[in-house]
Chains A and B, each alone.
Chain A
Amino acid sequence: MDFSFTKQQQMAQKMYREFAENEVKPLAKKVDAEEYFPIETVKKMAKLGMMGIYFPKKYGGAGGDVLSYVMAVEEMSKVCATTGVILSAHTSLCAAPIYENGTEEQKMKYLPKLLSGEWLGAFGLTEPGAGTDAQGQQTVAVDAGDHWVLNGSKIFITNAGYADVFIVIAITGQVPDKRGRMTKEISAFIVERTFPGFSVGKPEDKMGIRGSSTCELIFEDCIVPKENMLGAKGRGFQLAMSSLDGGRIGIASQALGIAEGALAETITYTKERKQFGKSIADFQNTQFELAEMKARIDAAKFLVYNAAETKQRAMNGEKIRYSVEAAEAKLIASRTASDVTRRCLQLFGGYGYTRDYPIERMMRDAKITEIYEGTSEVQMMVISGAILR
């Protein structure tokens, strides 16, 4: 196993760090305090090719690799978790499903706009009554001859307020399962913001990633052209699950970044903060806390990078899956993010509890990584399902 970066990856990491420090970090406090969606950052990332990092140039991508994308989400999330998830949801949950499941016409129509960042992407699976129980979908798509008519709603949709294209999962009928019982037939669609009957509800007021635009999607006799079904009819659930495998690698990178960012802030702070006549970094409790957090972060990092490399191999044509790798990476990285930010805040003491320092924001941002794109419990279901098969 090779843990070294290619020269391109090292160069990309250097660029991400400069960009995050100069363009993303200065906005992070405002993004959180004012629930501000950093649209100007998205435009800047687009200009630099960051909205289509690992896709082929043929479709307007930058021709990079999955690990380089993961590192981008990681570096942005070190300073602003909201910016990290905008990039992750757009790439993993909208551009990737179209690239992996779309017809050539669909790819040529949507990918150049998405990968150049001219359009922002989002993904709608969750409904009020269908969270972890994703098969409990209620949104229906009825075949109306030359188009589909969608009715229903989706909730907690990342990027919703600013996205131009949505991957939407809906029921297209009833089919008998292996035992002959009738079950829901689930399919996927590409829905443009401007389609008639589509609207976006008001944003959620959230604990963390407050600048991320999380809204409801409403379908009222929404007209979707026939050619906008993504993947085969009845394969929507599988498409959603495999998209989430990729998405989880993105969220795992976000969690990793949050933990790394919090540790970096804490290292600086504990060297400066003086108590009992010396800096608190001179106390063994601080040293051991920092040491253990660093080790846990590195452990998470290897899982995240391993998941990225496994997805890369799958993209290169190897007949392998990466569901377990992605689930492990997300389970451990998100737990690490919550654990590390909580412990970092403790080292900051009272100052850490104030909004003068970024650490309380990081702690609030960390929690969502244990919940969205599959809770930690879902990740354990995926992993145990594979080892008990």
Chain B
Amino acid sequence: MKAIVCVKQVPDTSGKVAYKPDGTLDRASMDVVTNPDDLNALEAALTLKDETGCEVVVISMGPDPAEGMLRELLARGADRAILVSGREFGGSDTFATSQILAAAVNRVGLGPDDIVFCGRQAIDGDTAQVGPQIAEKLHLPQVSYAAEIKKDGNKLTVKRMLEDGFMMLSVETPCLITCIKELNQPRYMNIKGIFECYDKRIERFDYEALKDDPLIETDTIGLKGSPTNVFKAFTPPLKGAGAMLNGDDAAAKLASILAEKHLI
């Protein structure tokens, strides 16, 4: 039994945001972190490992520095780490990325008991598309926005959060789940893991390793396989700070402010 976790290294949005002249993010000059929701996905997999002893495999597509992130995930308790990297994959949008990650999952091999975990969305693109697209391309049932997962044999009961409520869904393995931060509290790296993670090999899947997968064609990956293109990226102007109204007369104060602005 395996839990496969797809992770992404993203710019640290608490630091400075830099752009290249063409308007895309200048990732090289920004601090990087593991995408927060992906840590919830890893925690879901590690919880499953605690319960069942399953193998936890983390997969990330990205440039070489993503290897550092993968080692940190090993230090948190993952068993295998795979870096999907190659010039051919550069410039991929969500469609091409999910195509490549699905091929990588195929290469790892998906058994009848296995589960793929993804974070809800990455904080750099906020699309929430890659997880669901991987599921579609692998013909897997999927549950997105998981806030609770209960496992009983091959059946998972998942609480799927919606904006105005939630759904309780049952799904059988193999399946894909995208995780939100309400699902769990990601664990820290542990000292033993930190000192062992450099003894482990980071496996690499390059174009050669994945090219025989039917999902991988020259026009389904990289810039060529990407139907979307970034037109421009910019930092939106900050909204003015809100005012907090307290006390019994808060409603009256609010009414007078709104009246002052001729809104009511």
A-to-B contact residues, CB < 8 Å: 7-8, 11-12, 14-15, 18-19, 47-50, 53, 57, 62-64, 68
Contact = CB atoms under 8 A, between A and B. Distances in A.
Contacts, number: 51
A8 B190 contact: no
Contacts of A14: 72, 189
Interface SS of B by simple majority: helix
Contacts of B71: 7, 11
A15 B193 CA distance: 11
A5 B263 CA distance: 59
A7 B190 CA distance: 14
Interface string B170-206: 0000000000000000001111111111100000000
19 contacts: A8-B198, A11-B72, A11-B194, A11-B197, A12-B191, A12-B194, A14-B189, A15-B75, A15-B188, A15-B190, A15-B191, A15-B194, A47-B190, A48-B190, A50-B191, A62-B190, A62-B192, A63-B192, A64-B191
A18 B191 contact: no
A12 B196 CA distance: 12
Interface in B43-59: none
Interface residues of B, number: 15
A161 B188 CA distance: 28
Given A62-B195, A68-B195, 14 more contacts: A7-B68, A7-B198, A8-B195, A11-B71, A11-B72, A12-B194, A15-B75, A48-B188, A49-B191, A49-B193, A57-B192, A62-B194, A64-B191, A68-B191
Contacts of B191: 12, 15, 48-50, 53, 62, 64, 68
B126 to A, nearest CB: 24
A215 B22 CA distance: 66
Contact of A63 (B68, B188, B189, B195): B195
Nearest to A22: B188
Contacts of B192: 49, 57, 62-63
Contacts of A57: 192
Contacts of A63: 192, 195-196
Contacts of B68: 7
B120 to A, nearest CB: 21
Nearest to B72: A11
Contacts of B198: 7-8
Contacts of A19: 188
Interface in B69-126: 71-72, 75
Contact of A64 (B72, B188, B189, B194): B194
Contacts of B188: 15, 18-19, 48
A57 B191 CA distance: 11
Contacts of A49: 190-193
Q: Could you say which of B75, B191, B194 has the most chain A C-beta atoms within 10 Å of its C-beta?
A: B191
Q: Could you say which of B68, B189, B197 has the most chain A C-beta atoms within 10 Å of its C-beta?
A: B189
Nearest to B196: A63
B68 to A, nearest CB: 8
A11 to B, nearest CB: 5
B241 to A, nearest CB: 16
Contacts of A47: 190
A91 to B, nearest CB: 12
A64 B194 CA distance: 9
A14 B34 CA distance: 13
A15 B195 contact: no
Nearest to A19: B188
B196 A15 contact: no
A49 B75 CA distance: 12
6 tightest CB-CB pairs across the interface, nearest first?
A49-B191, A62-B191, A15-B189, A62-B192, A48-B190, A49-B192
B170 to A, nearest CB: 33
A297 B132 CA distance: 51
A64 B190 CA distance: 11
A19 B189 CA distance: 10
Q: Could you say which of A12, A15, A18, A63 has the most chain B C-beta atoms within 10 Å of its C-beta?
A: A15
Contacts of A62: 190-192, 194-195
Nearest to B68: A7
Nearest to A57: B192
Q: Could you say which of B188, B190, B193 has the most chain A C-beta atoms within 10 Å of its C-beta?
A: B188
Contacts of B197: 8, 11
A130 to B, nearest CB: 36
